[in-house]
Amino acid sequence: MSLIRAGLKRLVNIFSSGHGGVLSRFITNIAPSQQQLVVETQKKVIATCNRLIEEKPSRNFAIVHLLGKQWRVTDGDLLVVEGYWPPNIGDKIKLDKVLLAATKDFSLIGRPLVQPGLVTVTATVISKGLSHTRTHFKKKRRKQFMRINFQRAQQTMLRINSVEIANKINEDSRNVF
């Protein structure tokens, strides 16, 4: 279970700070006391997060692992990944390795990945091509040594279609793989 997070902290702050706060709209019984059981607060935080997801107040972002690199992505982003990568133009893919996902109000932190099925990042391959020519030039002075090579790397351009968080935080994850 890749779970909750320290942003619990932020929500708890909002809970315990009485009136005001972002969540005051959604909460009827404000300000539970400090002595409240931790577990109960946790449940409440999770419930609130789930509700916030349903309301969709803001854009989400996620950090995904792709081809050995980590990318911070949000809706409509354009990624250029370099190197050999099989997907073809027009392919729609789901980026499953989500390390972190967040909205305006809370963030989900994976250890190391958030549970499968919770965060859906979809992307489309929009173009494949080559990078500009990189010149590899070596020269040693006074040694009559000179080498020149040219290289171009394969590049794939990806458009991030959506970053969505499902409202089932803390539910049992069925391993889809």
Partner 1 sequence: MVFLTISNLIRARGPDEFWRKRRIFRLAAHFIGRRRNCYSVAVRNVHRALVYATKARKLKKQDMKDLWNTRISAACEQHNITAFTLKEGLDRSNIMLDRKSLSDVASWEPKTFECLAAIAKQKLQLDGFIDTVDKKHPTGVNLNLKDVMLDAWLKEKK
* Residues at the contact surface with partner 1, assessed by CB under 8 A: 1, 3-10, 12-13, 16, 38, 41-42, 61, 63, 69-72, 99-100, 102, 107, 109-112, 134-139, 146, 148
CB of 139 to partner 1, least distance (A): 5
CB of 132 to partner 1, least distance (A): 12
CB of 155 to partner 1, least distance (A): 16
In whole angstroms, what is the distance from residue 133 CA to residue 140 CA? 23
Which of 58/127 has CB closer to partner 1? 58
In whole angstroms, what is the distance from residue 129 CA to residue 155 CA? 5
Helix (H) / strand (E) containing 92: strand 92-95
Residue 25 backbone phi and psi in degrees, to 5: -65, -35
In whole angstroms, what is the distance from residue 165 CA to residue 34 CA? 30
Which of 131/162 has CB closer to partner 1? 131
In whole angstroms, what is the distance from residue 82 CA to residue 134 CA? 13
In whole angstroms, what is the distance from residue 2 CA to residue 109 CA? 7
Which of 17/127 has CB closer to partner 1? 17
In whole angstroms, what is the distance from residue 103 CA to residue 154 CA? 33
Which of 59/92 has CB closer to partner 1? 59
Q: Which DSSP symbol is given to 114?
A: P
Regarding beta strands 119-130 and 92-95, do their DSSP bridges make them parallel or antiparallel, or are they unpaired? antiparallel
CB of 46 to partner 1, least distance (A): 12
CB of 93 to partner 1, least distance (A): 20
Which of 43/56 has CB closer to partner 1? 43
